[in-house]
């Protein structure tokens, strides 16, 4: 869908174009009719003038006293002509020279306006009228060269067209300025929404036109409500975790009673389960402390996190000459729990550092969410073991220290973001390759 600005601009532009086109047509037609009417009126008066100077002799011959007529009728091709016709006689003005200006005979009282081609292909407008003079029916036609009228009309149309186009451009520019000014609050709200999504502001400025103020107020209310609910959820999760830890302590105390001293297997099972539950509770408490401390929408700088994490791992594995290469878009930000991302990357890279010979490659990029790819040049993992790497407690090599929980924790984090995790043999070095995709958790 086009933007509101585009729709308004196009709609107003079409309306202005239609309005000015209609104005152009109406004004051109009006001016044309006005000039034509003036010429016709003048030619009708000329026919009556010619009629006044006609005399019919006793033998029916038409005699014209041309001395009182306009001298233009005497100059050849002057542009003003007349003809007088009867059943048996026909008189032409001297200005026609030898050009035949014959027009149809009209009945008495009839008038007609004609467009003819005169001497030298002059465009003529002619007015013919039927009269009865001294008992004789005659038709008088007066014609005028209207080349000047057509030229003036064309000049007016071109001038008016240019002025109209300039007017349209000026109105469009003014309209664009008005629309832009009217939509300025929307542009401001758009920028603030972007800043809100990046976590740089806590709320949107509600000073806006009445049409969008309710939307901004409601959005701020929802943001405030979300922060409050997140804080309450964090507090409730903390309270629940503390209560569960109390109950776990009681279970351990029960395991230490005399009744359980002779059931070492059951006692060990209780210790094992309570210890695992305690680890989960500690982890959730840690997440609860982090949750709600950042602004809604504030993203985690992945590049900065990876840089610090790799520096830490190089210090931890200083007995190895690690060659870790990584490529992360500096503008890439993760919208989620910082601790989740830190734990995910930490476990994956720690596992790669533990098993690699010396080289590790990390790529993080945006692709309908965020994709993480880690490769190492270690011994890799057999095909049968790839499917069970994420099982809690599984260790591909029992001789190497570890709890076997790292990749299982990573798998839980990936699942919580509706993501996917895939293990394969690295085609580059033959070691382990881990591909992770987290859904809709990234912005650039």
| Same-domain pairing of 347 and 422 | yes
Predicted confidence at residue 141, as pLDDT, reads 93
Predicted confidence at residue 404, as pLDDT, reads 46
User: Which among 114, 81, 87 is positioned nearest to 100, based on CA atoms?
Assistant: 81
Work out the average pLDDT over 250-263: 70
Instruction: Specify the range with the lowest mean pLDDT, choosing from 29-38, 130-139, 277-286, 421-430.
Output: 277-286
Give the pLDDT band of residue 283 (cuts 50, 70, 90). Answer: low
| Same-domain pairing of 53 and 122 | yes
- Look up residue 259 and give its DSSP letter: G
| Same-domain pairing of 286 and 311 | no
Please list the alpha-helical segments (H only) found in 291-379.
Answer: 302-316, 338-355
Which CATH number does the domain housing residue 385 bear? 3.30.565.10
Which CATH number does the domain housing residue 119 bear? 3.30.450
Strand pairing partners for 62? 56
- End-to-end CA, the chain: 24
Strand pairing partners for 442? 334
Tell me which residue range forms the domain holding 260. 213-290
Whether the pLDDT of residue 210 is over 90: the answer is: no
CA distance 297 to 201: 10
CA distance 228 to 217: 17
Among the candidates 97, 120, 151, a domain finishes at: 151
| Same-domain pairing of 12 and 146 | yes
| Same-domain pairing of 233 and 261 | yes
Predicted confidence at residue 372, as pLDDT, reads 92
Q: Is the pTM of this model over 0.95?
A: no
The count of domains in the chain is: 3
Q: Where are the beta strands (DSSP E) in 10-110?
A: 54-56, 62-64, 80-85, 90-92
| Same-domain pairing of 284 and 304 | no
**Does residue 27 belong to any structural domain of this protein?**
yes
pLDDT over 70 for what percent of the chain? 84
| Same-domain pairing of 114 and 147 | yes
CA distance 232 to 252: 30
Predicted confidence at residue 373, as pLDDT, reads 93
Work out the average pLDDT over 200-227: 76
Work out the average pLDDT over 121-127: 91
CA distance 249 to 94: 133
Give the pLDDT band of residue 398 (cuts 50, 70, 90). Answer: very low
Greater model confidence, 2 or 358: 358
**Does residue 205 belong to any structural domain of this protein?**
no
Contact indicator for 54, 84 with CB cutoff of 8 Å: yes
Among the candidates 110, 134, 151, a domain finishes at: 151
Among the candidates 151, 184, 204, a domain finishes at: 151
| Same-domain pairing of 112 and 237 | no
| Same-domain pairing of 111 and 28 | yes
| Same-domain pairing of 114 and 251 | no
CA distances from 57 to 64, 396, 399 (A): 11, 138, 146
| Same-domain pairing of 260 and 306 | no
| Same-domain pairing of 324 and 237 | no
| DSSP SS3 for 393 | coil
**Does residue 202 belong to any structural domain of this protein?**
no
């Amino acid at each position: 869908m086009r933007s509101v600005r585009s729709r308004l601009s196009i709609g107003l532009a079409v309306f202005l174009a239609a309005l000015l086109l209609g104005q152009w047509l109406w004004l051109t037609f009006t001016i044309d009719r006005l000039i034509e009417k003036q010429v016709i009126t003048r030619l009708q008066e000329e026919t009556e003038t010619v009629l006044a100077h006609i005399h019919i002799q006793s033998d029916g011959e038409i005699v014209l006293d041309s001395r009182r007529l306009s001298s233009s009728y005497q100059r050849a091709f002057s542009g003003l002509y007349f003809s007088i016709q009867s059943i048996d006689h026909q008189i032409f003005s001297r200005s026609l020279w030898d050009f035949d200006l014959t027009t149809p005979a009209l009945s008495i009282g009839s008038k007609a306006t004609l467009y003819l081609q005169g001497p030298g292909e002059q465009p003529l407008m002619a007015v013919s009228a039927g009269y009865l003079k001294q008992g004789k029916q005659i038709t008088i036609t007066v014609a005028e060269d209207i080349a000047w009228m057509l030229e003036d009309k064309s000049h007016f149309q071109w001038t008016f067209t240019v002025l109209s186009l300039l007017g349209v451009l000026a109105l469009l520019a003014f309209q664009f300025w008005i629309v832009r000014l009217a939509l300025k609050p929307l542009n401001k709200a758009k920028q603030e929404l972007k800043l809100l999504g990046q976590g740089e502001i806590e709320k949107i400025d509600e000073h806006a036109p009445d049409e969008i103020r309710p939307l901004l107020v409601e959005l701020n209310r929802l943001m405030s409500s979300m922060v409050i609910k997140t804080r309450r959820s964090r507090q409730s999760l903390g309270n629940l975790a503390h209560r569960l830890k109390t109950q776990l302590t009681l279970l351990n105390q029960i395991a230490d009673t005399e009744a359980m001293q002779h059931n070492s297997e059951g006692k060990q099972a209780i210790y094992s389960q309570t210890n695992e539950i305690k680890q989960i509770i500690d982890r959730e408490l840690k997440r609860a402390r982090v949750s709600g401390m950042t602004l809604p929408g504030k993203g985690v700088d992945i590049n900065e996190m990876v840089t610090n994490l790799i520096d830490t791992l190089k210090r931890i594995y200083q007995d190895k000459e690690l060659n870790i290469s990584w490529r992360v878009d500096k503008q890439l930000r993760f919208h989620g729990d910082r601790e989740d991302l830190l734990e995910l990357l930490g476990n994956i890279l720690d596992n790669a550092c533990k098993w690699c010979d010396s080289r590790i490659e990390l790529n993080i990029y945006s692709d309908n969410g965020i994709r993480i790819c880690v490769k190492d040049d270690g011994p890799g993992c057999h095909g049968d073991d790839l499917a069970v790497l994420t099982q809690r407690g599984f260790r591909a090599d029992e001789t190497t220290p570890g709890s076997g929980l790292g990749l299982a924790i990573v798998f839980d984090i990936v699942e919580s973001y509706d993501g996917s995790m895939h293990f394969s043999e690295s085609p580059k070095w033959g070691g382990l390759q881990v591909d992770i995709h987290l859904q809709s958790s990234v912005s650039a």
